[in-house]
């Protein structure tokens, strides 16, 4: 069984960004409570950093996914749902490669009848194993 999940470094960096944004929003609210006045930086801290932290945390929850691949099935687990797809239901799959600076960014897209699943080598673990599995089991559905 192949398990592909978000890399811990990606989750850690997003979590730190959310924590720093929430801390700055807290400092803005605390400043208003202590002084009783709204300054221009209080507005920025509360409204910008607070909403930024909220939006990014919701996006992380929506985009978080774990793939379990084995025996002709692709199980997609998300925090609020779980779906199972068969490889024979797959319409096509493709790999996109982009050279960025000193690294190579690869994205694997699996297109099923009603769902498109994307994973990348920089954000997900077991990218090469998933690619090799798809090449062996669904090689005819590869689109270049």
> Within 13 Å, how many C-alpha atoms sit on residue 72's CB side?
3
pLDDT tens for residues 109-131?
999 988 999 999 989 999 999 99
Edge to edge, what strands does the sheet with 81-86 contain? 2-4, 66-70, 73-78, 81-86
Question: Do 46 and 29 meet the contact criterion of CB atoms below 8 Å apart?
Answer: yes
How confident is the model at residue 97, as a pLDDT?
93
Question: Do 123 and 107 meet the contact criterion of CB atoms below 8 Å apart?
Answer: no
Domain residue ranges of the chain, discontinuous segments joined by +: 2-63, 88-141
Q: Is the pLDDT of residue 38 over 90?
A: no
Question: Do 129 and 6 meet the contact criterion of CB atoms below 8 Å apart?
Answer: no
Given pLDDT bands bounded at 50, 70 and 90, which one contains residue 91? very high
d(CA 95, CA 134): 11
Averaged pLDDT, 18-26: 96
How confident is the model at residue 40, as a pLDDT?
87
Q: Strands 92-100 and 81-86: what pairing?
A: unpaired
How confident is the model at residue 24, as a pLDDT?
94
How confident is the model at residue 77, as a pLDDT?
94
Q: Is the pLDDT of residue 36 over 90?
A: no
Averaged pLDDT, 55-80: 92
């Amino acid at each position: 069984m192949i398990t592909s999940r978000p890399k811990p470094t990606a989750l850690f960096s997003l979590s730190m960004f959310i924590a720093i944004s929430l801390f700055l929003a807290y400092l803005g609210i605390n400043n208003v409570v202590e002084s009783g006045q709204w300054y221009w930086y209080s507005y920025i801290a509360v409204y910008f950093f607070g909403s930024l932290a909220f939006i990014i945390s919701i996006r992380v929850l929506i985009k978080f996914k774990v793939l379990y691949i084995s025996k002709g099935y692709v199980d997609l687990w998300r925090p609020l749902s779980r779906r199972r797809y068969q490889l024979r239901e797959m319409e096509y799959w493709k790999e996109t490669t982009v050279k960025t600076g000193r690294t190579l960014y690869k994205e694997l897209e699996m297109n099923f009848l009603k769902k498109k699943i994307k994973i990348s080598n920089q954000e997900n673990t077991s990218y090469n194993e998933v690619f090799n599995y798809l090449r062996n089991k669904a090689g005819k559905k590869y689109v270049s």
